[in-house]
A and B are shown apart, each in its own frame.
Chain A
Amino acid sequence: MEMVQGRFENFVSGIGRVIIQNINGLGSIFKFMLSFFYWAVRPPIRPRLLFEQLEFIGNKSIFIITLAGSFTGMVMAYQTYFGFQLINVDSLVGPVTAISLARELAPVLTGLIVAGRAGAAMAAQIGTMKVTEQVDALEVMGINSVQYLAVPRIIAGTLSVPMLSVFFLFIGNVGSYFVGTKALAIDEAIYLSKLGDFMFLTDIWQGVIKAFFFGFVVSVIGTYFGFSVTKGAEGVGKGTNLAVVWGMISVLVLDYFLTSFLVQVL
């Protein structure tokens, strides 16, 4: 009996510990976010670093976004078609695919891809700089490491994800159009006219606004876990891993809350 009770207490205190650790973690991410805002608006501004990050996070993601977008659009067209033809509304494949892409798939998948690619790279780069004392070297020179390393990455991430998401949306629709009109033989004129009838600018806006927040959160998390690395190569691996996992989870959780808010205001 005592043993069972002991185990139960261990279990409860274990849960308590995990909760407290996560609350502490949230607190320090929040503090980190505040220091980002503090340093983002202070001189000197280093445009070259921002462009380097835009190039890396934005430009260098285009290939993978093209792949992901086109296949997502294509598969969505198929899935929608097989449902819709049962009730003879297969002409609506275009707008349904487009709306799902605009509101959900483009921003969420782009967010997830950037979390995996750029979020991981941010954590790995900053983490490596941390353990090799490059971050200390900056600080000793009087350069704030958050301003130098985190600010350009977070701004670039916040700007890149919405742009990539719009690109994803466009490519996805191209994929859907080809599958819909060529493989599934929906009439081209009907496809396009229905698209125009049912798809609105608010659908696109909703996705863009979400993508903006996803970009911000994924980059904050990526840079935060980079700075939180303390020990050795193993620490860098762990930080990178945490950045990807929490970046992706945040996108999914945030998506729910943003959606429930945006459907009311837009």
Chain B
Amino acid sequence: MLHFENSAVEIKNLTKVFGEHTVLNNLNFDIPKGKITTILGFSGAGKSTLLKHILGLHKPTSGQINVLDRDLSKMSEVDLREFRQKFGMLFQYAALFDSMTAKQNVEFPLKEFTSMTPEEVNNRAETLLESVGLEEFSHNKLPSELSGGMRKRVGLARALALSPDIMLYDEPTTGLDPITTKMVNDLIVETGEIHKEQQMSSIIISHDVQATLKISDYVAFLNRGNIVEYLPASEFAKSEHPLVQEFINL
């Protein structure tokens, strides 16, 4: 199991039980700062549940989660809400607010959480949208008028609005065509590169093994609520774990 000097997330003995169902089982997991780490695993393995614990949306049944050196269990509800501004999240289907235009979506967190003037908000939103490659004529379109790939771009711009320290990607390429998939993967890498100085960490949940191995620095395999393999991406394909081999060769 990998450990890091400089970790963004440290999980110790995390167990989560829903009713009688143990979803995360005494899980230990270190996620490094400034790198791209991907969590692979079969459906129902507990990936989304793990992500929600990192965000403090779920409380552990037992165990400890430190994010950016802060113990989430010691934080009040109010602190946690504020702390979440350190996260940006790109949802599988972008989860744009469908009553707002692309630009309004990006402006939303800026208006809610900063004291920028309307003009500053507007400029920042335009810069963000340009940085993810959304052409100007699409800035004032509603999500329903955008293609899947364009929505992802807007979702990414919105997630980056408050300059997060940790970017989370939930199945960023599931259900996209090959060209859009490549575009999204490139965007993830680029986003990591652009924010390298700031040591932005990226955490990806994925089913897509090939892309994962290409774009990640580290890959973890989650099975039945436990990390059963955790390696640098370059070594992952050589893992001898039978489930990992099965997953890779699917």
Contacts and interface: CB of A to CB of B under 8 A. Distances in A.
Contacts of A143: 81, 112
Contact of A132 (B57, B81, B82, B95): B95
B96 interface: yes
B93 interface: yes
Q: Point out which of A133, A134, A142 has the most chain B C-beta atoms below 10 A from its C-beta.
A: A142
A182 B80 CA distance: 67
A142 B91 contact: no
B85 interface: yes
Interface residues of B, number: 21
Contacts of A133: 91-93, 95
B91 A141 contact: no
Interface string A94-118: 0000000000000000000000000
Nearest to B97: A134
Contacts of A137: 89, 91, 95, 97
B236 interface: no
A44 to B, nearest CB: 8
B112 A140 contact: no
Contacts of A129: 97-98
Given A140-B89, A144-B81, A134 B96 contact: yes
Interface pairs A-B: 8 shortest CB-CB: A142-B81, A133-B95, A142-B84, A137-B95, A133-B91, A140-B89, A134-B95, A141-B109
Contacts, number: 42
A26 B95 CA distance: 30
B36 interface: no
Interface in A113-158: 128-129, 132-134, 136-137, 139-144
27 contacts: A128-B98, A129-B98, A132-B93, A132-B95, A133-B91, A133-B92, A134-B95, A134-B96, A134-B97, A134-B98, A136-B91, A136-B95, A137-B91, A137-B97, A140-B55, A140-B57, A140-B84, A140-B87, A140-B89, A141-B84, A141-B109, A141-B112, A141-B113, A142-B80, A142-B83, A142-B85, A143-B81
A132 B98 contact: yes
A142 B82 contact: yes
A130 B149 CA distance: 21
Nearest to B170: A133
Contacts of B82: 142
Among B82, B91, B113, find the residue whose CB has the most chain A CB atoms closer than 10 A: B91
Interface in B71-101: 80-85, 87, 89, 91-93, 95-98
Contacts of B89: 137, 140
A144 B77 CA distance: 11
Of the listed residues A137, A143, A144, the one surrounded by the most CB atoms of chain B closer than 10 A to its CB is A137
A246 B97 CA distance: 28
A139 B109 CA distance: 12
Nearest to B89: A140
Nearest to B85: A142
Contacts of A136: 91, 95
Contacts of B87: 140
Contacts of B93: 132-133
Nearest to B57: A139
Contacts of A141: 84-85, 108-109, 112-113
A137 B96 CA distance: 8
Contacts of B98: 128-129, 132, 134
Contacts of A134: 95-98
Contacts of A128: 98
A136 B87 CA distance: 13
A171 B177 CA distance: 57
A143 to B, nearest CB: 7
A133 B168 CA distance: 14
The residue in B80, B82, B93 that gathers the most chain A C-beta atoms within 10 A of its C-beta is B93
Interface in B7-61: 55, 57
Nearest to B112: A143
Given A129-B98, A142-B84, A142-B85, 20 more contacts: A133-B91, A133-B92, A133-B93, A133-B95, A134-B95, A134-B96, A137-B97, A140-B55, A140-B84, A140-B87, A140-B89, A141-B84, A141-B108, A141-B112, A141-B113, A142-B80, A142-B82, A142-B113, A143-B112, A144-B81
A141 B91 CA distance: 12
Contacts of B92: 133
